[in-house]
Amino acid sequence: LACIAIQSNQNDQHGGQSIPNFDYGLAPGVAKTYKKIYTANLYRAISLLVPESGITREDIKKKISDIEKSYGLFPSLEMSTEYKEKEKEVILPIVGDEDIYKKIQSFATNLALEETEKETAQAMEGLVHNLNTMHSRAGAQTPFSSINYGTDTSAEGRMVIRNVLLATEAGLGNGETPIFPIHIFKVKEGVNYNPEDPNYDLFKLACRVSAKRLFPNFSFLDAPFNKTYYKEGHPETEVAYMGCRTRVLGNTYDKNNEITYGRGNLSFTSINLPRIAINSNGNVEWFFEELERKMELVTKQLLDRFQIQASKTVRNYPFLMGQGIWIGSDKLSIDDKIGEILKNGTLSVGFIGLAEALVALTGSHHGQTVESRNLGLEIVGFMRDYLDRLSQEKQLNFTLLATPAEGLSGRFLRIDRKKYGIIPGVTDRDYYTNGFHIPVYFPVSAYEKIQIEAPYHALTNAGHITYVELDGDPNKNLQAFEQVIRTMKESGIGYGSVNHPVDRDPVCGYNGIIDDECPGCGRKEKDGPYKFERIRRITGYLVGTLDRFNDAKRAEVADRVKHNVQ
């Protein structure tokens, strides 16, 4: 059902979608399954051990549901003493003997746990499989799906988290790495970050799975700009991410709805920072004036586009609006305009190539000098201030995005190189660097990269991500992997992930690092018709081959250097 919901929604909208509460959302389904299985096994045990009772399946079902109706108590993974007492009152008279009753109860409890775990595991396998094979009507493409989880500490929520991670670790079919969904594990102190936390075991498992499959990514609920919205017991106030970076949380339009549920980004447009920097001829003052003019132009364009979106009716979005997915749409009729409720969404300005812009302005990027680091924060801070002021003025949500730039990174570069020629450190590669990232070719330790990029996470409220590139197989050093994630958390990163090589031999199914020869079966690539698969992350999404990617992205992947974790 979760897959069908994603598929149906995809037919109504452009861009990817994200489930902000995968664990909380599916836990009630696990509870329902447990209740059903427990009741069935209770009946089986009674009919086997006390056949003379003549009790029927329907009788038992009714007795259990009567307990729920009268007292609100029911069999569950965390079986309450209150429920057990009520059950005993009803079942013991049928069984007659206290010892036999105890046996019956323990049989039903053990089997219910075992079978619920198995059904949940199968459901998660099915989900991962379906999300990698289903297609949406629009463009016959697999929907870009993301799921956020990690903070539900109920036994049912934990079972969902554990099994979706294990299904991802196992992989598809013959051990293939699943491309979808993108997993985001929410890290939170007191919930899963420290050894004494109830979901710490799941955080460890998430690290292990990510070290093998590149997902989950990690989001950090304690980063100050996320924590400010967090209300304990209200999972809708926990930040959630979509795909490779986007997010919604703050809400200037409606301060009572500073939540992640039912909202999204309406559109975004990116600014080419290197172009402005080249044109400034090193005049920083002029750079900021020109940047302000560009901000004005882009936000006007976003508003124009918003007017078009706002003129649509519920009828145009039968699932997204008709089924009440978008916040407030449940109160509208089919021919009502959606403009007012769309104001809960965000209009985002993106930027690309901060690194190259800094080189054009000062001769060095933010990985190289403190001066550039400060100027970088000034530039991005300037953009954020502009958008905050505009949000107040218009009572809309204008937010700032560190653009991933799937196509733009090469396109902007080509236009600029044609116009300005090759400028060292600016237009001499085939791509501009993502958002605020340190250039992928620049040698820097994992720790330094995290420290330099973290302050930008606080400024880019529409989305951000920091990657660390690890060499070798992190499965063989899970401690180092976990240390990188912990450093991200302690440094104020909002969203991060670790890149490492994941290779697979489609012939024998070996999964790990393959150089020339497959460690699984010893064959070499040139021996057979099948190439080894090399899974890499390109702008947040996993791909098995770079053949279909544009030259700019291929060049970017080839340039990446590993980050030392010592």
Q: Would you tell me which residues interact with Zn ion (CB under 5 A)?
A: 505, 508, 510, 518, 520-521
Q: Which is nearer to Zn ion, 294 or 504 (CB)?
A: 504
Decide whether 197 or 517 has the Cβ nearer to Zn ion: 517
Q: How far apart are CA 500 and CA 246, in angstroms?
A: 22
CA atoms within 13 A of residue 431's CA, in its CB half-sphere: 26
- How far is it, in rounded angstroms, from Cα 3 to Cα 173? 19
Closer of 152 and 505 to Zn ion (Cβ)? 505
> 86 or 212, CB closer to Zn ion?
212
- Distance (Å, whole) CA 191 – CA 209: 19
Radius of gyration of the CA atoms of the chain, in A: 27
Strand order in the sheet with 511-512: 511-512, 502-504, 533-538, 541-543
Instruction: Find the shortest distance in angstroms from Cβ 240 to Zn ion.
Output: 39
Helices (H), 72-215: 81-95, 98-133, 155-170, 200-213
Distance CA 321, CA 95 (A): 53
Among 322, 151, 145, which residue's Cα sits nearest to residue 237? Answer: 151
Using DSSP, state whether 39 is helix, strand or coil.
helix
Residue 168 C-beta: closest distance to Zn ion, Å = 22
* Bridging pattern class, strands 398-402 and 346-352: parallel
Report in angstroms how near the CB of residue 504 gets to Zn ion at its nearest. Answer: 9
Which is closer to Zn ion, CB of 407 or CB of 519?
519
The length of the chain, given as a count of residues: 566
Q: In angstroms, give the least distance from the CB of 478 to Zn ion.
A: 24
**Pick 312 or 534: Cβ nearer Zn ion:** 534
Q: Which residues pair with 401 in a beta bridge?
A: 350, 463
CA-CA distance, 459 to 462, in Å (whole number)? Answer: 9
Nearer to Zn ion, 518 or 565 (CB): 518
Residue among 244 and 502 whose Cβ is closer to Zn ion: 502
For the CB of residue 506, give the shortest distance to Zn ion in the complex, in Å.
Answer: 9
Secondary element (H or E) of residue 466: strand 466-469
| Shortest spacing between CB 446 and Zn ion, in angstroms | 31
**How far apart are CB 519 and Zn ion at their closest, in Å?**
8
DSSP-derived pairing of the beta strands 398-402 and 466-469: unpaired
In this complex, which beta carbon is closest to Zn ion, that of residue 332 or of residue 502? 502
C-alpha–C-alpha distance, residues 247 and 463, integer Å: 5
Q: Residue 47 or 475: which CB sits closer to Zn ion?
A: 475
Least distance to Zn ion from the beta carbon of 509, Å?
A: 7
Strands 246-247 and 241-242: antiparallel
Exposed (0-12), middle (13-18) or buried (19+): which is 541, by Cβ within 10 Å? middle
- Give least dist CB 551 to Zn ion, A: 30
What is the smallest separation between the CB atom of 518 and Zn ion, expressed in angstroms? Answer: 3
Q: Comparing C-alpha atoms, which of 169, 167, 175 is closest to residue 130? A: 167
The residue (of 261 and 532) whose beta carbon lies closer to Zn ion is 532
| 8 A C-beta contact, residue 493 and residue 506 | no
CB of 545 to Zn ion, least distance (A): 17
Q: For the CB of residue 260, give the shortest distance to Zn ion in the complex, in Å.
A: 43
Q: Compute the least distance from the CB of residue 175 to Zn ion, in Å.
A: 11
| Secondary element (H or E) of residue 303 | helix 284-310
* C-alpha distance from residue 509 to each of 109, 221, 505, 518 (Å): 38, 37, 5, 10
Nearer to Zn ion, 15 or 520 (CB): 520
Query: What is the rounded CA–CA span in Å between residue 271 and residue 283?
Result: 19
The DSSP code sequence of 327-396 is TTGGGS-TTSB-HHHHTTSEEEEEEE-HHHHHHHHHSS-TTT-HHHHHHHHHHHHHHHHHHHHHHHHHTS
- Hey, is 549 helix, strand or coil? coil
C-beta of 452 vs 518, nearer to Zn ion = 518
Distance in Å, CB of 517 to Zn ion, minimum: 9
Residues 183, 213: contact at Cβ < 8 Å? Answer: no
Of 322 and 520, nearer to Zn ion (C-beta) is 520
